[in-house]
Amino acid sequence: MGERAILNRVKKLKELEAQAKAIEAEMEELKAEIKRDMEAKGIEEQQAGDFVVRFKTIIGNRFDSKTFKAEHENLYRAYTKATENRRFSIA
């Protein structure tokens, strides 16, 4: 593939990324509006036509690796392994 073809693909990719970013921002704002409305009403579930909207508090447990590493560094190192990835970026 020639430089011109790559340039055209990069430009198209950048355009699509900008559109996706704008759509994502709009989606997040709509979600935030719905959440604010539900919080104001003090409800966790609401029927909206054929949809059921839920905004519930979920309690979960997560492993605190930072604290574990600080308190048990040798054990932490014994159970960690290096991973390899390839990163694609356009600057």
CA distance 84 to 86: 7
C-alpha span between 5 and 3 (Å, rounded):
5
Q: What is the pLDDT at residue 87?
A: 93
Q: Where are the domains of the chain?
A: 3-78
Percent of the chain past pLDDT 70, that is, above it, reads 100
Statement: residue 91 has pLDDT above 90? no
Q: What is the pLDDT of residue 11?
A: 97
The per-residue pLDDT for 72 is 97
- As a whole-number percent, the residues of the chain with pLDDT over 90 amount to 95
Q: Quick check: 73 pLDDT over 90? A: yes
pTM for this one? 0.71
